[in-house]
């Protein structure tokens, strides 16, 4: 970042320190710059080829010749573009053109004055509006209120946009600016205040005001929190996350959809460990302990007694459903629990995978005893299960291939789908099961011939 800051300072200095003697300053006409016809004619003749050679994204709609420094062998131009953002350019023979967006070249210096390359063409009267397509491409909705050029390095350009309502973003894109290049739009909260890349058009307090709006939506959805403290956590390509601590000691992580700014959900701190390390404004350990006890009670009520030592949340698109993996203290048993307001369904780690889930806390080996027991029900007590795999499922039934420790051919067990602790309802040899999911594939079960 430091290298970027040095490059930025130098770039803006070039734009500001163009010798005044070579600049054809436009005259004022009714309070607006009057563009000399000859300067415009020369610009339209020469500038399109120069801007094309630069690689900047610009279809020239207007141009003017600003001036020439014969001693330095440099010519200066301004172009307005159909794409929205205009540019100031420095052209030298046998050297790649230097290109600056109008936001950069028109930005006032420390003395409050703009430099000789400030854009004055009518099409460049509002250069900040030229960032709108970039913000949209970055997947963010923003009614732009103010803009600022942070600067350009060798590969990237950085801009700040402030939106009506208090939100602010840093737009990162290619240098020179081109809408066909990659665009990333990040919340200002992602950057440290005072850093080389940071926001100045909005302050952190204003940016965090969005949390109060999200809290209103959270209350409407049933999560009440009288906010004591709040902080920004992180952003992904699709979501922003904020932590709130409540006056009653509870805490939540608010998930916001980045593209629309809408409230997505409130995640209790006990379930939010996957978001940037979890909550720091509340006692996350106490919350985790309390939640573990809560899940223990729910699982016992659902017929699966478990002193929950560890739990993990699984994703679900159903707001009325929680899917939780449970690890029980002092036991090799584990399960996937699907809890609703009216009860729960518990899948042990064998049948969980048949129902679209997979245990990560529980090893595979301890599940073999359950499969061995199920084989006894089909008079196959001689098979001690040594390996197992899911081979396929229909809408109503899932199939598990098992191998036997004695090396003799194993079997396929069928279980009903969507049932807690289901008993095996079907028993097949590997020969009979060859049409199910490609048949048996465990080493000792491959059907010869």
The residue among 237 and 295 whose pLDDT is bigger is 295
Which position has the token pair 């929190």?
Answer: 225
At 16 the pLDDT is 45
Q: What are phi and psi of 224, to 5 degrees?
A: -95, 130
pLDDT at 447 over 70: no
Q: What are phi and psi of 434, to 5 degrees?
A: -65, -15
Q: Cis peptide before 35, with omega less than 30 degrees from 0?
A: no
pLDDT at 7 over 90: no
Q: How far is CA 216 from CA 174, 205, 209, 247, 263, in A?
A: 38, 18, 12, 16, 9
Chain Cα centroid distance, residue 302: 36
State the pLDDT confidence band at 113, using cuts at 50, 70 and 90.
Answer: confident
pTM beyond cutoff 0.75 = no
Paired strand residues for 230: 244
**pLDDT tens string 168-187:** 999 999 999 999 999 999 88
At 193 the pLDDT is 79
Average the pLDDT over each of 234-248, 283-297, 317-331 and give the range with the smallest value.
283-297
Mean pLDDT, residues 310-332: 83
- Is the distance from CB of 131 to CB of 142 less than 8 angstroms? no
Other CB atoms within 10 Å distance of the CB of residue 1: 9
Distance CA 218, CA 237 (A): 22
Closest to 277 in 3D by CA, of 234, 214, 218, 228: 234
Distance CA 35, CA 106 (A): 17
pLDDT at 143 over 70: yes
At 15 the pLDDT is 44
- Is the distance from CB of 150 to CB of 170 less than 8 angstroms? yes
At 405 the pLDDT is 93
Mean pLDDT, residues 264-286: 82
pLDDT at 449 over 80: no
- Give me the sign of the Cα torsion angle 271, 273, 278, 282: positive
pLDDT at 152 over 80: yes
**pLDDT tens string 411-420:** 999 999 988 7
Collect all residues with Cβ–Cβ distance below 8 Å to 303 and sequence separation of at least 6.
346, 420, 421
Joined together, the tokens standing for residue 348 give 């042990």
At 23 the pLDDT is 58
**Average pLDDT, rounded, for the chain:** 86
Mean pLDDT, residues 249-253: 90
Distance CA 126, CA 151 (A): 18
Backbone φ/ψ region at 116: left (φ over 0), alpha (ψ -120 to 50), beta: alpha
Angle at 157 between CA 148 and CA 275, to 5 degrees: 85
At 79 the pLDDT is 96
Q: What are phi and psi of 284, to 5 degrees?
A: -65, -35
pLDDT at 17 over 60: no
Average the pLDDT over each of 24-33, 132-141, 312-321 and give the range with the smallest value.
24-33
Distance CA 164, CA 59 (A): 30
Three-state SS for the chain is CHHHHHHHHHHHHHHHCCCHHHECCCEEECCEEECCHHHHHHHHHHHHHHHHHHCCCCCEEEEEEEEEECCCCEEEEEEEECCCCCEEEEEECCEEEEEEEHHHHCCCCCCCCCCCCCCCCHHHCCHHHHHHHHHHHCCCCCCEEEEEEEEECCCEEEEEEEECCCCEEEEEEECCCCCCCCEEEEEHHHCCCCCCCCCCCCCHHHHCCHHHHHHHHHHHCCCCCCEEEEEEEEECCCEEEEEEEECCCCEEEEEEECCCCCEEEEEEHHHCCCCCCCCCCCCHHHHHHHHHHHHHHHHHHCCCCCCEEEEEEECCCCCCCEEEEEEECCCCCEEEEEEECCEEEEEECCHHHHCCCCCCCCCCHHHHHHHHHHHHCCCCCCCCEEEEEEEEECCCEEEEEEEECCCCCCEEEEEECCCCCCCCCEEEECCCCCCCCCCCCCHHHCCCC
**pLDDT tens string 294-319:** 888 998 898 888 898 888 888 777 87
Average the pLDDT over each of 249-258, 272-281, 311-320, 407-416 and give the range with the smallest value.
311-320
pLDDT at 441 over 70: yes
Query: Where do the domains of the chain lie?
Result: 2-205, 208-277, 283-356, 364-449
The residue among 17 and 394 whose pLDDT is bigger is 394
Chain Cα centroid distance, residue 21: 50
- Is the distance from CB of 448 to CB of 442 less than 8 angstroms? no
Which position has the token pair 């803006």?
Answer: 12
At 161 the pLDDT is 96
């Amino acid at each position: 970042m430091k290298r970027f800051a040095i490059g930025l300072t130098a770039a803006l200095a070039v734009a500001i320190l163009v010798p005044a003697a070579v600049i054809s300053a436009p005259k004022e006409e009714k309070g607006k710059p009057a563009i000399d016809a000859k300067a415009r004619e020369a610009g339209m003749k020469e500038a399109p080829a120069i801007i094309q050679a630069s690689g900047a994204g610009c279809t020239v709609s207007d141009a003017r010749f600003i001036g020439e420094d014969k001693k330095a062998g440099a010519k200066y131009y301004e172009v307005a573009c159909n794409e929205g953002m205009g540019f100031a350019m420095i052209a030298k023979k046998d050297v790649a053109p230097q290109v600056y967006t109008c936001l950069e070249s028109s930005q006032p210096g420390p003395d409050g004055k703009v430099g000789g390359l400030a854009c004055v063409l009518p099409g460049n009267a509002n250069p900040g509006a030229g960032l709108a397509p970039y913000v949209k491409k970055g997947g963010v909705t923003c009614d732009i209120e103010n803009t600022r050029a942070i600067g350009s390095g060798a590969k990237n350009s950085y801009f700040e946009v402030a939106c009506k309502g208090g939100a602010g973003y840093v737009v990162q894109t290619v240098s020179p600016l081109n809408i066909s290049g990659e665009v990333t739009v990040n919340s200002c909260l992602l950057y440290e205040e005072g850093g080389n890349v940071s926001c100045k058009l909005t302050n952190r307090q204003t940016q965090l005001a969005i949390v109060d709006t999200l809290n209103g939506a959270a209350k409407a959805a049933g999560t009440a929190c009288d906010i004591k403290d709040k902080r920004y956590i992180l952003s992904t390509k699709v979501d922003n996350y904020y932590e709130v601590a409540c006056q009653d000691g509870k805490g939540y992580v608010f998930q916001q959809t980045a593209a629309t700014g809408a409230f997505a959900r409130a995640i209790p701190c006990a379930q939010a460990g996957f978001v940037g390390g979890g909550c720091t404004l509340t006692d996350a350990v106490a919350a985790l302990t309390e939640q573990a006890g809560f899940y223990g009670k729910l699982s016992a009520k659902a017929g699966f007694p478990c002193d929950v030592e560890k739990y993990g949340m699984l994703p679900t698109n159903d707001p009325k459903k929680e899917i939780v993996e449970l690890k029980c203290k002092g036991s090799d048993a584990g399960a996937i629990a699907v809890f609703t307001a009216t009860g729960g369904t518990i899948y042990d780690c064998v049948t969980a995978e048949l129902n679209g889930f997979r245990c990560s806390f529980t090893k595979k080996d301890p599940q073999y005893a359950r499969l061995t027991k199920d084989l006894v029900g089909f008079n196959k007590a001689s098979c001690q299960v040594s390996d197992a795999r899911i081979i396929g499922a229909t809408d109503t039934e899932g199939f598990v291939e098992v191998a036997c420790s004695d090396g003799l051919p194993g079997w396929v067990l069928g279980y009903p789908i969507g049932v807690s602790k289901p008993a095996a309802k079907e028993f097949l040899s590997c020969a009979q099961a060859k049409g199910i999911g490609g048949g048996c594939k465990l080493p000792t079960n491959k059907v010869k011939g």
